[in-house]
Every structure is written in C-alpha cells, then in structure tokens.
C-alpha cells in the first residue's frame, strides 16, 4: 500500500495525531506531498518529527520549501515572508539557529515521485508535456491549468498545494490538501483503496480569518 499525506504547514499536533492512526507495514510506502513549513506555528517541530521517521518514507518538495530555500539564498525574500515565512523563522528562534540537518533535508527534496500507477507531485503537471520536460515551477505552483483540465492524465496524479475543504477524488487526479492550517483537516490517502483518514485542526475565530482559497 501507499499512504500519501497532504500539506502540513507547521501543524505538528495534527501530524502526530494522523500518524498515530496509520500503521504502515515494512513493505508500504509513505509519501509526503510537500509544504511542511510556513503559516502554522511549528515548522521546526514538523521537520524535527519527519527526521525521526524510519521506513519507506518519501518527502517531496512543496512551493513553500522552495521559497524557504530561496529566502535563505537571499532571493525573493518578500515572497517568502508574505506567504507565512515569518512563522517559520520564529519557530527556529532566528535564521542562525536552523540546524544543518534541516537544511540538508530541504535541499534533498525531490520534485515528484512516480510508480507504475501513480504520480505524486506537490502542485501538479502541465497537460500535454512529458514528465521529464515539465517546468519545475509548474510542478510546485500550477493550479487550475492542471486540476481543471478536461482531458485525461495517463496516471493518477496525487497532489497538494491547492487547499480544498474536501479531498478532490477524480479517476485520474486526487487533491489531498484539505487546508489543515486554515482550521480544516489533515488528510492521509491510502492507495490503491482510495480510503481517506483525516484529523481535524480546530482554530479560534481569529485564526480563521485566513482564506482557504489562498492563491499561494
């Protein structure tokens, strides 16, 4: 089986509760779809936790990890901070306190993971372009051009990035970002059964001012 887990965004408690509900066997794979950092309060804690996991775990890069790395390299600094990066920096207690193990983790994240039947990617793919020729920016950032495409993808694409109140369950595309950081749910998709396991992340009224339809 394959377990695919949606966007976490610094929500450590929901992540722990979700992981307590799944029990992958040694032969199972667990794919994290990206966006471990930003917006939520415990980005550092999330990566600390992910680094403790042992087994067949695949961690993909999300657009927020890409923004974080660019920020650390002095590029697009406002973009990162505007999109929730301030909470990430605060979770570390300052840029000079980011562990080397976290930087190594971020730098080795792949853009996608492919099996015989499924493609796992953070944002999606641009229709009609072979996977090897996809623009990395599209893999991390694409939205409507991908998930609203009227054609059929050759493999089922499992993706995050676009927050939705419920899982988007289509024959050839499955969206599993269910807006945990906005007070909704963190989702685990089990394949091939398509069973869904979720935990809630209730927020107070002030926190709910974030808009689930955020374009970033």
Could you tell me if 30 and 55 are in contact, meaning their C-beta atoms sit under 8 angstroms apart? yes
| Tens-place pLDDT, residues 120-157 | 999 999 999 999 999 999 999 999 999 999 999 999 99
- For 77-104, b where at least 16 C-beta lie within 10 A, e where not — what string? eeebbebbbebbbebbeeeeebeeebee
Residue 149 in any domain: the answer is yes
Within-domain flag for 32: yes
Kindly report the CATH number assigned to the domain that includes residue 189: 3.60.21.10
Asked if 120 contacts 137 with a C-beta cutoff of 8 angstroms, the reply is: no
53 occurs within a structural domain = yes
Statement: residue 208 has pLDDT above 50: no
Please check whether residue 162 lies inside any domain of the structure: yes
The pLDDT of residue 87 is above 60 = yes
- The residue segments making up the domain with residue 129 are 2-209
**What is the three-class DSSP state of 91?**
helix
* Residue 214 included in any domain: no
147 lies in some domain: yes
- Give, in order, the Cα–Cα distances in Å from 194 to each of 1, 4, 49, 186: 10, 10, 26, 16
What band does 209 get if pLDDT is binned at 50, 70 and 90?
very low
Q: Which of 29, 31, 28, 33 is nearest to 6 (CA)?
A: 33
Taking the chain, what is the end-to-end CA distance rounded to the nearest angstrom?
31
Compute the distance between CA of residue 174 and CA of residue 191 in angstroms, rounded to an integer: 11
CA 135 to chain centre: 18
- pTM comes to 0.92
pLDDT 10s digits, 98-116:
999 999 999 999 999 999 9
Q: Which of 140, 109, 113, 101 is CA-nearest to residue 30?
A: 113
How many domains is the chain built from? 1
The arithmetic mean of pLDDT across residues 2-14, rounded, is 97
Tens of pLDDT, residues 25-38: 999 999 999 999 99
**pLDDT tens-digit readout, 19-76:** 999 989 999 999 999 999 999 999 999 999 999 999 999 999 999 999 999 999 999 8
Q: How confident is the model at residue 202 (pLDDT cuts 50, 70, 90)?
A: confident
């Amino acid at each position: 089986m394959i377990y695919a887990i949606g966007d976490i965004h610094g929500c450590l408690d929901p992540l722990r509760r979700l992981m307590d509900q799944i029990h992958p066997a040694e032969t199972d794979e667990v794919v994290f779809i990206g966006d471990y950092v930003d917006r939520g309060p415990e980005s550092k804690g999330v990566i600390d936790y992910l680094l403790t996991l042992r087994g067949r775990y695949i961690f993909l890069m999300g657009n927020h990890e890409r923004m974080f790395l660019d920020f650390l390299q002095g590029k697009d600094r406002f973009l990162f901070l505007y999109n929730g990066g301030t909470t990430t920096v605060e979770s570390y207690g300052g840029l000079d306190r980011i562990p080397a193990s976290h930087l190594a983790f971020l730098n080795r994240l792949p853009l996608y993971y492919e099996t015989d039947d499924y493609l796992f990617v953070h944002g999606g793919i641009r229709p009609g372009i072979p996977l090897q020729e996809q623009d990395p920016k599209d893999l991390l950032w694409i939205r409507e051009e991908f998930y609203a495409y009227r054609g059929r993808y050759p493999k089922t694409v499992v993706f995050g990035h676009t927050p939705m109140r419920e899982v988007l369950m289509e024959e050839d595309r499955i969206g599993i970002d269910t807006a945990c950081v906005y007070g909704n749910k963190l989702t685990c998709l089990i394949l091939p059964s398509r069973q869904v396991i979720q935990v809630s992340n209730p927020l107070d009224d002030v926190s709910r001012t974030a808009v689930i339809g955020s374009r970033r």
